[in-house]
Structure 1
Amino acid sequence: MVEDGAEELEDLVHFSVSELPSRGYGVMEEIRRQGKLCDVTLKVFEAALAWVRYDREQRGPCLPELLSNIRLPLCRPQFLSDRVQQEDLVRCCHKCRDLVDEAKDYHLMPERRPHLPAFRTRPRCCTSIAGLIYAVGGLNSAGDSLNVVEVFDPLANRWEKCHPMTTARSRVGVAVVNGLLYAIGGYDGQLRLSTVEVYNPETDTWARAASMNSKRSAMGTVVLDGQIYVCGGYDGNSSLNSVETYSPETDKWTVVTPMSSSRSAAGVTVFEGRIYVSGGHDGLQIFNSVKRCRHGAASLGSKMFVCGGYDGSGFLSSAEVYSAAADQWCLLVPMLTRRSRVSLVASCGRLYAVGGYDGQSNLSSVEMFDPETGCWAFTAPMACHEGGVGVGCIPVLAV
């Protein structure tokens, strides 16, 4: 499949400077949609060089802008040293060499990462390329908190067990940064937690990270510009309006501007460069933004989705989508199952609703929404969990 994607990228050499932005974008979106670019950075880099070489005199001045959009700081150091830095087109261009130096500094001096241009160091949204979905913590059929972790391969439609966490965690926050998965806070069956642990999929091991300033479960957890944000939650006594951000480079949590309202069990997602908080409750009422709590929320393409949850009287299967262009919510086809405490995650251009509670039982089932067909379909159920999991998606990249 990667070879097919490479052929489509090679077609870009025939587009002029003025045509490349629109035509190139369309080709890349199609390749991402079909999940063809596991080694996306390598293929795009080679395509950029081929495009410049086709008409070096006219196109050469465009190479710095092309390299800027490739986001070199996020490439592996070996790729930067062995391929990018050695390329003649790069070596003979002062601006290109500056971009390579910036990328090397990103790896050599992590303390300077916050000062680098945010665009070039912000990981691309991994919703359209293949990513492995991790189900973390959660509950068993008896309602006990678990330390169990398993991973789902959407292409193989198969779950496999991973090394467990050191701590049992339900209502846990999960975030993915730089290919590592963070399990944040949660409830161990007796206490709300402030502790954090981080999973390395390459070694299948967990390690401790710095604890949050506050204990919290049922909070919203997102990643923006390489930083983890946790929003609200429940500390065992009340819902919270506090927000903290974590820097993987410094291993420190910092309290930032609080939300306007105390919320737990809200849907929180990053959409168009901002953090959106929908629904949730403050212990007394469910907020009327989407009028639901304990629901799943995720962004996919130019849309933001919410599904499932609890509206104060019933457990929901309904799903909604928000369009920024129209500034309105629209109903989607409902899920096949009612799901409160559901986790929603995007991978391979589709949405996956993982686990939950249907009003009678914790759920191991998973269903997938395909935006092209507008339909939900069941996928393989979790093997080790029965609802209440936190989820994170780690993209599968070869470069």
Structure 2
Amino acid sequence: MKGSLLACQGKSALEALINFAYNGNLAIDQQNVQSLLMGASFLQLQSIKDACCTFLRERLHPKNCLGVRQFAETMMCAVLYDAANSFIHQHFVEVSLSEEFLALPLEDVLELVSRDELNVKSEEQVFEAALAWVRYDREQRGPCLPELLSNIRLPLCRPQFLSDRVQQDDLVRCCHKCRDLVDEAKDYHLMPERRPHLPAFRTRPRCCTSIAGLIYAVGGLNSAANFYAGDSLNVVEVFDPIANRWEKCHPMTTARSRVGVAVVNGLLYAIGGYDGQLRLSTVEAYNPETDTWTRVGSMNSKRSAMGTVVLDGQIYVCGGYDGNSSLNSVETYSPETDKWTVVTPMSSNRSAAGVTIFEGRIYVSGGHDGLQIFSTVEHYNHHTATWHPAASMLNKRCRHGAASLGSKMFVCGGYDGSGFLSIAEMYSSVADQWCLIVPMHTRRSRVSLVASCGRLYAVGGYDGQSNLSSVEMYDPETDRWTFMAPMACHEGGVGVGCIPLLTI
């Protein structure tokens, strides 16, 4: 857009549009931005429409974001709508205290409290928000409470909260359907064997990938390493996406490449890997508050190049390589008991697969079994302990990055048996299909992919000639990859984990 954008007061939308036509300057303020946007839409002045959307986007606040989202939907401004939606999810607790939230119609509240992306410390905050909405107009909204509670994940509330707060509320006590939902939630805690029979969405933890988090790069290989060998490292460094800066942390007690990394309760776990001579079963946990590592319980199997994820507060490791063959075995770790338990194996032996949590399931993509590289995908339902096939990727690949962001799952890079890849794909469960997105700037095998701040970060890798310290960031709103600050202490092969800033 030519000209400058000047924030000023007291100009009408018509006067602002006339001024723009004559001198290329556009004056936008809080009073005229909506009128300007409507006029620009009617006259098909895309540059002014974009400028108004940017103005509103930069001024999103818990007290106005719901109204901005509604206005963006009316004006068919997709980028502004998505930005407001993401802001609402990220700041849900503050938004739920606003007059805009209390004035929402039932269908909008139902849609909001159902979202996986809500950024809440506990499900109890969602319950309190819903109850506040009902009490705002108790006579009219009281009958809506059963439908609201059925969309809240009551089983994920603490037993004490269910007994002392939810069950004792007078609105809940006088409603049979509400009491049934409370009983269902209590059964979840009292009788774990019945959990597979509960509606899956009510026991699925929420996951907000738009909040800021610090990205930790763990272990990996030095610059002298080639595709087949190299020195494993115990080095750890942390990246602040907002400051675009890396800093060194205390090293692990053991050197580990092809290491699994997981984050639970604000602790970073380094799992298994290869120390340069042996595949490892050992595990150690990092506390960012004390900058220290502590050994915890070891896995049942030695493994490197496995997938590692967290679901319902448990760490899962899938497949990998034990020094002799690719594995199909899966183990889960409980931080409370410090024990590893073997669960249902995958349908295929998979080493160097992409593994991520998507819509409450563990998705495993690609990888290899020592003979062939896969494009196939399978997912695990932890309630029924069963694996199911999903749509295959467009490209076979191993040693690739995989991560979820919002309502989509992504894979990038890897190796297809003949070349090192920069191509990336995105999966939608609604369409049950993959589609290509813009490729990375760099070919990256052994790349790690992680979500933070509503963006994806592809960290390190190997381009066919050397290990990489470079990092690329993918913005789903613009479908572009951008280089970020390179790692300071690593050259490829790292494991990564993201610790939300709220937890440290």
TM surpasses 0.5: yes
Aligned twin of 1:240: 327
User: Using a 3 Å threshold, how does the CA distance of structure 1 residues 59 and 181 change in structure 2: closer, same or farther?
Assistant: farther
Kept in 1: contact 2:398–2:414 (CA 8 A):
yes
Q: Is residue 109 of structure 2 the alignment partner of residue 20 of structure 1?
A: yes
Structure 2 unpaired stretches of 5+: 1-59, 64-90, 226-230, 377-394
Cα distance, 1:157–1:331 mapped onto 2, change above 3 Å: same
Aligned to 2:457, the other structure's residue is in SS state strand
Q: Secondary structure at the match of 1:52?
A: helix
Give aligned pairs, total.
384
The residue identity in structure 2 corresponding to 1:14 is A
Q: Which string of whole-angstrom CA distances, capped at 9 and with x for unpartnered residues, describes residues 353-376 of structure 1?
A: 011011111111111111111111
Partner of 1:396: 501
Q: Which amino acid aligns with 1:264?
A: S
Q: Does 1:345 align with 2:450?
A: yes
Select which of 307, 331, 338 maps to 1:251: 338
Residue of structure 1 in register with 2:141 after alignment: 59
CA 1:59–1:127 in 2, change beyond 3 Å: closer, same or farther?
same
Q: Residues 303-331 of structure 1: CA distance to partner in whole angstroms, max 9, x if unpaired?
A: 22110011111111110112222222211
Aligned to 2:483: 378
Change (3 A) 1:329 1:47: same
- CA distance 1:287–1:86, change in 2 (3 Å): closer
Q: Which residue is 1:304 aligned to?
A: 409
1:342-391 deviation per Cα after TM superposition (whole angstroms, max 9, x unaligned): 00111222111011011111111111111111111111211221111111
Q: TM-score, normalised by structure 2?
A: 0.66
Using the TM superposition, name which of 251-260 and 290-299 deviates more: 251-260
1:35-54 counterparts in 2 under 5 A?
A: 47-54=129-136
Structure 1 match to 2:257 = 170
Q: Distance in 1 between matches of 2:433 and 2:105?
A: 38
Q: Does 1:142 align with 2:231?
A: no
Equivalent position to 1:131, from 213, 216, 219: 213
Q: 1:41 to 1:93 in 2, by over 3 A?
A: closer
Q: Distance in 2 between matches of 1:60 and 1:331?
A: 47
Q: Check conservation: 2:123, 2:156, Cα contact below 8 A.
A: no
Deviations 1:87-146 (A, max 9, x none): 9995885579x97xx89x98xx9xx98987776665322322222211111112123211
1:261/1:120 CA distance change after superposition, 3 Å: closer
Letter in 2 for 1:274: R
Distance in structure 1 (CA, Å) of the matches to 2:263 and 2:151: 22
CA separation in 1, counterparts of 2:166 and 2:414? 52
Using a 3 Å threshold, how does the CA distance of structure 1 residues 126 and 3 change in structure 2: closer, same or farther? closer
Partner SS, residue 502 of structure 2: coil
Q: For residues 88 and 259 of structure 1, what CA distance do their matches in structure 2 show?
A: 41
Letter in structure 2 aligned against 1:129: I
3-state SS of the aligned residue for 1:362?
A: coil
Counterpart of 1:152 in structure 2 is 239
- The 1:292/1:86 distance shift into structure 2, 3 A limit, reads closer
Question: How far apart in 1 are the matches of 2:288 and 2:158?
Answer: 16
Counterpart CA distance in 1 for 2:123 and 2:501 is: 12
The 3-state SS of whatever aligns with 2:232 is coil
Amino acid at match of 1:257: T
> Would you say the 8 A contact 1:227–1:245 is kept in 2?
yes
Q: Which moved more, 1:43-52 or 1:141-150?
A: 43-52
Q: What is the SS of the residue equivalent to 1:207?
A: strand
Deviation at 1:264, TM superposition (A): 0.8
> Which moves more between the two structures, 173-182 or 13-22?
13-22
* Conserved 8 A contact 2:95-2:101: no
Q: Which of the pair has the greater relative contact order for Cα pairs under 8 Å at 6+ separation?
A: 1
Change (3 A) 1:379 1:213: same
Residue in structure 1 matching 2:400, options 295, 298, 301: 295
1:214 to 294, 298, 301: 301
- What amino acid is aligned across from residue 356 of structure 1 in structure 2? G
Q: 1:136 touches 1:148 (CA, 8 Å); kept in 2?
A: yes
Bigger Rg, structure 1 or 2: 2
Higher helix proportion, which one? 2
Q: Structure 1: which 5+ runs fail to align?
A: none
Identity across matched positions, percent: 77
Moved more, 335-344 or 138-147: 138-147
Q: Contact conserved, 2:286 with 2:293, CA < 8 A, in 1? A: yes
Compared CA separation, residues 284 and 164, structure 1 to 2 (3 A): same
Deviation (angstroms), 1:191: 0.9
Aligned to 2:387: none
Task: Determine if contact 1:177/1:226 at 8 Å carries over to the other structure.
Answer: yes
* 1:9–1:44 CA contact under 8 A, matched in 2: no
How far apart, CA to CA, are the structure 2 residues paired with 1:115 and 1:140?
49
3-state DSSP of counterpart to 1:12: helix
Change (3 A) 1:145 1:159: same
